[in-house]
Structure 1
Amino acid sequence: MPGRPAFELPTAGPDPLPWDTALAAVLGYARGRRPLRYRSPIEREGRWVQVPAFGFERFDRRPVPAGPLGDDDVLVAEGLHGRLDPDGWAAVRRALDDVQPAADAAVAHAAGRPFWELPDDELSVLGEPGTLGAALRGLGEPPGPQDRYVVAALHHRRPELVPLVTRTTWLPALPHLREGDSGVAAVVHRELRANAAAFGALEDEVGRLLGHPLTRLRLHDLLLWLVTTLRLPAAVALGRATDEWQHSPATALPA
């Protein structure tokens, strides 16, 4: 698309990701629906219903809980990763209590700066201790089954500061680590900085079309997740069928 730079994301593959493909994928993630056969206990026969295909409504659009990390944050994380059994729920809840001081310290240390505007030293072992990169690494690398819920809760609280990394997106970032990196957050930071214009344009257009902002940090995670889980073609097809796509000036030209 003229005037819209493609995304150069080595974590997602060797080929550039066209800007309009990325926009369609995000719209498909947010608006896409899939059929589900539903039958309540009081019905003799079921019926087909359309349900959200992805986690936008269950996670990204959920309001940010007030106060310290708590029960509501676990529920938000379940909206993205699925229900926990009682033992898992209790473990995540305890973990949120444990990380509260570190999360508060990281926010204070960032001093209002979003992740992509932090200096490189914040994601380097050369700047440790006390860097944001060290704090993020302490959340778990690789992220375990319960760590991903903790990270999701923290990202939902601070979507401009905490990368939403799961094992699925952590693995493709590993080969791109450089000497001195504090963890895979440094890889995410480099890709956001290298694609600042593309992510800035996507961030603006997504916020305008959806009426709900998604930070470029969340958009990076989302695009990487769609690519690595082979969901990108489905999300793009769903996105190009949305009203937002059909009426967006940014998509006036053929893809």
Structure 2
Amino acid sequence: MRPGAGPGTVLPTRPLWKGTAVAVAPPKRLALLGGGFSTDDDGLLDDWVLARAGTSRPKVCFVPTASGDAPAYVDRFRTVCAARPDCEPSVLHLFRRELDDEALRSFLLAQDVVYVGGGNTANLLAVWRAHGVDRLLREAYDRGTLLCGISAGANCWAEGSHTDSFGPLTHLSDGLGLLSGSVCPHYDSEPGRRPSYRAAVAAGKLPAGWAVEDGAGALFTDGALTETVTRVRQAGVYRVEADGTGEVTERPLPCRLLGPPRPLPG
């Protein structure tokens, strides 16, 4: 999205030939996060996301559905945003929803960034579908809103994901499909994540995909990986693919180290 062009903005046209013009479509972007306001104190991944919003003071909507709209999670988001004047925060509550369908659509399409929190991926997807939020997020994505999230909020965008939504670690082939392939969060920090995800990809239970360690982030533009970053040197992003022999290949991707932390007001 170009600076100053918010979601839903009527974009300028460019001529093709003799009196014919077409609208320039905004890029479709989403980011997989291994951290952010709920886990990190330095704000580096949050800074990185906001810098890609395409406007100087982006509207950022936090969606805490996966946690059941946990009050402490929402409070943490509001506290962090209150300390930074470079964004306009809001929260979408679905467990005590107040907006009708028309107002909900207008609200989501007005956002520059939609940030989805962690929790239960399967529950998140079910609630979104019940309220039509899945369709609205796809529309926002097509219009240029940056979609992003951590844990379940990273899992949800892909075709499939690696999750503990049902207790033990398993595969979930039921994502929104905005990103081709699969996603595995917490690749380095939760016991069993790495071998379980590799086994699912090797067996064809999940398609090839992206594994994100805590502290790293990956940006996709029009479906292609365009940037990988990390706030700590030891964290990274991996491409995991079946090799056709029942095994997998795991390719680490070069990540730009973020920093230094931004100064906070006061």
**Greater RCO (Cα-Cα under 8 Å, separation 6 or more):** 1
- What TM-score do you get using the length of structure 1 for normalisation? 0.29
Structure with the higher fraction of residues in strand conformation: 2
Structure with the higher fraction of residues in helix conformation: 1
- What TM-score do you get using the length of structure 2 for normalisation? 0.28
